[in-house]
Amino acid sequence: MGVVTVWSFQVPDAVGFQRPELARIFFWHFPCPLLLTGLLFVGSYFSFRHLVRVQGFRVESETDNRERQLWDIRAVAALELGFVFCVLTMITGILFSLVQWGVWWQWDPRQTSFLLAMLVYGAYFALRTAFTDPEKRAANSAAYMLAAVLPLIFLIFVYPRLPQVEQASFHPTQSIMKGQIKGAYAQVVSAVIILTTILSVWLYRLRVRAGTLELLAEDYGQLETHGGHPAPTGVVRPVSLSDPH
């Protein structure tokens, strides 16, 4: 991380920017929306797997309870991380906009798309806090994520590419395709992308491990009821009407 940061300051200043020396924020801004988008769809896939079991080509709506809980942990891990990158996207984008154009918000279509994506994330986490029952929390938040996939695809991939919207956008859409990022800049951008991806995977795995340990801690030990007594269970036996109970 330190090496890449130092490297990013070593490359020559960017050409064509108002404050070329500060355009370096682009190195850290560029990977964030890529990761946020990736984690969003990964989280949606895990949400799908939580709700249904795919066995061969059959889709069944009943799954083993433990398996469902694990898919929920994975979904939450991916989406929490995605939210972090969403916030970083907004912060680095605002800084860049302030530096380059002198305003921190100008309703750029891509900026707006990711703001709306942040609203979806916020709604997801708000929904999770509204359920005390963990099974309902997991199932309903997974359902919301699946319902949000279509609007998210529209916001991230379709809306910014609409002709009238693309013209109004400050974000270049073809900078990589047309080879505008090249040389040392391309190398630094690639290095930061690889670095942040590795960091994401590591953080994701840590989060999943923490969630799994929480599950195991809940299950381990004595059965509990209110007051610390073991859970009711029973034996079916014939009724005896002389029984004093």
Partner 1 sequence: MSSGWKAEILAVYRKELQTELRSKSGLVTAGLFSFVTVVTISLVLFNKNVNAPGSGLQDISAGLVWVVILFASILNLPRTFLLEEEQGTADLLRLFARPHAVYWGKVLFNILQVLGTATLVSVLFLGFTGTRVSVPWIYVVSLIGGSCSMAGAVTLCGAIVAQAANRAALAGAIAVPLLLPLVQLGVTGMRAAFGSGLVGGGQAAAVGLVAYAAIMLAIGPWIYAAIWKT
Partner 2 sequence: MREALRALSLPAERTAAPPRIESAKGFAHSQKGLLLFVLRVEGLGKRYESRWIFRGLAFSLGAGDRLVVLGRNGAGKSTLLRTLAGLVQPSEGRVELPPEPRRSLGFSGLEQALYPQLTVDEHLNLAAELRDCDARADELLDQVELAYARELPASKLSTGMKARLKLALAIQPRPQVLLLDEPGASLDEQGRGIVEAVCAEQASRGCLIVATNDPTERRLANLELRLES
> Site mask, partner 2, residues 134-173, x = CB under 8 A?
xx--------------------------------------
Q: How far is the CB of 98 from partner 2 (least distance, A)?
A: 46
Q: How far apart are CA 19 and CA 95, in angstroms?
A: 12
Q: How far is the CB of 138 from partner 1 (least distance, A)?
A: 8
Here the tokens at position 132 are 């005390």
The single-letter DSSP state of residue 161 is: G
Q: How far apart are CA 231 and CA 11, in angstroms?
A: 66
Identify the three-state secondary structure at position 55: strand
Burial of 73-111, coded b for 16+ CB within 10 Å and e otherwise, reads bbbbbbbbbbbbbbebbbebbbebbebbeeeeeeebbbb
Does position 216 interact with partner 2 (CB under 8 A)? The reply is no
Q: Do the beta carbons of residue 39 and residue 81 sit within 8 Å?
A: yes
Does position 226 interact with partner 2 (CB under 8 A)? The reply is yes
Does position 161 interact with partner 1 (CB under 8 A)? The reply is no
DSSP string, 17-32: -SSGGGGGHHHHHTHH
Q: How far apart are CA 91 and CA 86, in angstroms?
A: 9
Does position 218 interact with partner 2 (CB under 8 A)? The reply is yes
Positions in 20-59 near partner 1 (CB under 8 A): 51-52
Does position 193 interact with partner 1 (CB under 8 A)? The reply is no
> Site for partner 2 (CB under 8 A): which residue of 2, 163, 183, 238?
238
Residue whose CB is less far from partner 1, 61 or 222: 61
Give the burial class of 177: count Cβ atoms within 10 A of its Cβ; 0-12 exposed, 13-18 middle, 19 or more buried: exposed
C-alpha distances (whole Å) from 223 to each of 32, 182, 198, 214, 233 are 45, 62, 40, 16, 11
Residue with tokens 């305003």: 103
> Site for partner 1 (CB under 8 A): which residue of 100, 140, 169, 197?
140
Residue whose CB is less far from partner 1, 44 or 92: 44
> Site for partner 2 (CB under 8 A): which residue of 174, 177, 237, 242?
237
> Site for partner 1 (CB under 8 A): which residue of 155, 188, 189, 192?
155
User: Which range of residues in 13-21, 100-108, 129-137, 229-237 is near partner 1 by CB under 8 A?
Assistant: 129-137
> Which residue ranges make up the site for partner 1 (CB under 8 A)?
51-52, 61, 116, 119-120, 122-123, 126-127, 130-132, 135-136, 139-140, 142-144, 146-148, 150-151, 154-155, 159, 164
Binding site for partner 2 (CB under 8 A): 65, 132-135, 218, 222-226, 229-239, 241, 245
